[in-house]
Amino acid sequence: MQKGILIYEDNNELRSSIVQLFTHSKEYALVGSFPHVLEVEKQVKSLKPDVILMDIDMPGGINGITAVKKIRTFDQQTPVIMLTVFDDTTNVLDAIYAGASGYILKKHLSGRLGNAIQEVLAGGAPMSPNIARMVIASMHKYPSPERNKYKLTEREKEILSALAQGSGYKGIAAQTYISIDTVRTHVKNIYYKMQVHSQLEAVAKARDEGIL
């Protein structure tokens, strides 16, 4: 069954190019493509995408990061991959803390987008290489001695560590000899205990606070 893709990109030419990537795809079906996020809640609820591709710099007074925050108030599960030209620490970390599931620079779209969608659907957190280095560097700046303030179980810490290493749900299930559904339940509990909305946010918070 095809996975539904929803696109938010204000550059008409780039948006059309991304749309073309899915026009004849057997794996993915385009469910919507919009130049702004002013009606993002209504659109996400009605279109029910499997993956959302989100630009940051959007017109109309609401940017992509704010849109992700809004989405996470009613939808904790649908992956959101940021597609942007911004590679500064502020935008990257703001997007992660807002609940983004991945962060791909537009200059890497042609070579990375397909794999990024597959990765995020498998439970991973796709990032352009330099973005991943930036996130890791920012995590190293804020260690904390309090290692289990969220009362994570040993299994939850094991799964959180695997997520931090980039493992998807299928890989974690194989490593820990549990089902994928059980992995999803543990991840859901981790998100609840840590008060986060995405894998990237959970890993970033765990690194920041010295849990991993």
Q: Which pairing describes strands 80-84 and 3-8: parallel, antiparallel, or unpaired? A: unpaired
pLDDT band at 145 (very low <50, low <70, confident <90, very high): very low
Domain ranges of the chain: 3-137, 143-208
* Same CATH fold assignment for domains 3-137 and 143-208: no
Average pLDDT over residues 151-173: 88
The confidence score (pLDDT) of residue 141 equals 57
CATH architecture of 3-137: 3-Layer(aba) Sandwich (3.40)
Q: Which long-range contacts (CB under 8 A, 24 or more apart) does 40-49 make?
A: 40/8, 40/67, 40/70, 40/71, 41/70, 41/71, 41/74, 43/6, 44/6, 44/71, 44/74, 44/75, 44/78, 45/74, 45/75, 47/4, 47/6, 48/4, 49/4, 49/5, 49/6, 49/78
Q: Which two tokens stand for residue 80?
A: 């959101």
Tens-digit pLDDT profile for residues 171-184: 899 988 899 999 99
For 143-208, CATH gives 1.10.10.10
Does residue 102 carry a pLDDT above 60?
Answer: yes
3-state SS class at 181: helix
pTM listed for this prediction = 0.69
